[in-house]
Amino acid sequence: MSSIQSQFLDLTARHDRYAAIDTNSALKNSAAEKVIFIAGASRGIGQATAIAFAEAGAKAVYITARTEGSLKETQALVHAANPDTRCSYSICDVTIAAEVEASVADCVAKFGGIDAADANAGYLGPWVKIGESDPAGWWRNWEVNLQGSYHVIRFTLPHLIKSAKKHAAEGKSGGHLILLSSIGAQVLMPGASDYQTSKHAINRLCEFVQSDHGDDGIKCVAIHPGGVATDLGLNMPEAMQEYLVDSPDLAACFAVWVCSGKADWAKGRYLSANWDVSELLNMKDEILQSDLLVNRLRAKLSAAG
């Protein structure tokens, strides 16, 4: 893992919720009066994120996934976390534009708008070499991870822009958009060409969202959620599963922290939930001055001698 670690900031590694991002203390009420839209919230990280926003005092959490039974379970957990947080859901396949559009419209009809959106739905198929891969299975990663994220972006953006302008007028922060990336976006693991290239593209898509809509007040961040033993994570080769040591609460609370306004300076960038946020904030000036945490080709040419 040394080659992986060399790609990222040298910060204290976190593996579970901690004081600075705890939605029951430091981030309590940070989501007050806000409506949160989460795609892929039936279990794992998405489910934990819905609960975390409820703990942080969200006005409403709207959740989508393909399985109604799991959505009902998440809805019950949201209500248990905070009876004052309203929660509704719809069955939705993020690869189908019309279904995402309908879910967004239903959320707005029920709760009056969207203040933050989390494109959490993801897919990871078997790891095989490109020359041995199934074409449909290879492309499925791109359909869910990239096309699905695009659909969430496309249909929530008009409402996020309204939120950003409204909150700005009140001296507050709104219009947050989280895209689920991965540490795999920046590394090469044999057999992971479909998943890792789709996640690398997520980071660049995040930059484009910010480039196109930063002036509209949007704050888009691509996050690595940590190594979590979700159903998706357990699709990795067994040798890689020893790195699945992080709690779903880590990514969930980190998402709430991002949407609290404390990471607005990092908009358009890749952040890892494993990074200690206090140490990350101390690197703010260096990150901005050196334009770190974005996809770039660095080329150094030597003068001919």
Catalytic, out of 34, 195, 219, 267: 195
What is the C-alpha separation between 141 and 48, in angstroms, rounded?
23
Looking only at the bridges linking them, the beta strands covering 86-91 and 116-119 are unpaired
| Pairing, β 176-180 against β 116-119 | parallel
Write down the number of H helices and E strands in the chain: 10, 7
Choosing from 34, 59, 162, 199, which is the catalytic residue?
199
195 noted as active-site residue: yes
Q: How far apart are CA 78 and CA 74, in angstroms?
A: 6
User: Edge to edge, what strands does the sheet with 60-65 contain?
Assistant: 86-91, 60-65, 35-39, 116-119, 176-180, 219-224, 270-272
Query: What is the rounded CA–CA span in Å between residue 264 and residue 268?
Result: 9
Answer yes or no: 219 catalytic. no
Residue at 6: amino acid letter: S
Q: List active site positions.
A: 195, 199
